[in-house]
Amino acid sequence: MKKLITFLFFGFFLSIAAIAQDDEAPTSAWQTLGKVTFKKQYDDLLGFKIDIPVFSETVRAIDGTEITLRGYIVPTQGYKSHNEFVFSAFPYNMCFFCGGAGPETVIEVETVEPIEYTADPITIRGKVALNDEDPNRLMYALSGAVLVEE
């Protein structure tokens, strides 16, 4: 009986690990984007202190360059094709807006051609821009993005 329980537990653990690996494995570009810290700064317009991103040299080095990201579409205007959307390193239920991930795990995307919504992970490529001045926008944006065929 003890061997059966051990076998079942081990099988369950492997299944969970496989699911986590598929859903949670950020690419190296996401890891690079994660190299950011924050400082508190008073915002006159909002009337309180807000977190301002402080980009590492590694992040600053990719500003204006083309990067490839694998992740998930976070629908902002329904479940349809979009030229503009938020893209997340993690699935919708785990993303910055719904789960416990940080703001470095999402990016504003503007595409060349509309990309059809899917709950499955996709890969996109585009030019990254950093934002540490407009608190009404995300700190990362990807322009001229295209869907990468896998």
Mean pLDDT confidence for 103-118:
93
117 in Cβ contact with 82 (< 8 Å): yes
Burial class for 130, CB neighbours closer than 10 Å (0-12, 13-18, 19+): middle
Range of the domain at 60: 27-147
Segment 51-109, tens digit of pLDDT: 999 999 999 999 999 999 999 998 777 666 789 999 999 886 666 556 667 889 999 99
User: Could you tell me if residue 143 is inside a domain?
Assistant: yes
pLDDT above 60 (res 27): no
* Domain annotation covers residue 110: yes
Q: How many domains does the chain have?
A: 1
Tokens matching residue 73: 């579409």
State how far the alpha carbon of 141 is from the alpha carbons of 19, 103, 117, 129, in Å. 28, 12, 19, 5
What is the pLDDT at residue 28? 81
The answer to whether residue 9 sits within a structural domain is: no
| For residues 120-139, average pLDDT | 95
| pLDDT of 20 over the 60 cut | no
User: Where residue 141 sits, what CATH number does that domain have?
Assistant: 2.40.50
The pLDDT, as a whole number, for residue 9 is: 34
- Nearest CA to 30 among 140, 146, 115, 145? 140
pLDDT of residue 100: 66
- DSSP string computed for 23-45: HH---HHHHHHT-EEEEEEEETT
Give a yes or no: residue 21 inside a domain: no
Residue 16 lies inside a defined structural domain of this protein: no
More confident residue, 81 or 44: 44
Residue 120 lies in a domain: yes
Q: What is the mean pLDDT of the chain?
A: 80
Question: Would you say residue 5 lies in a domain?
Answer: no
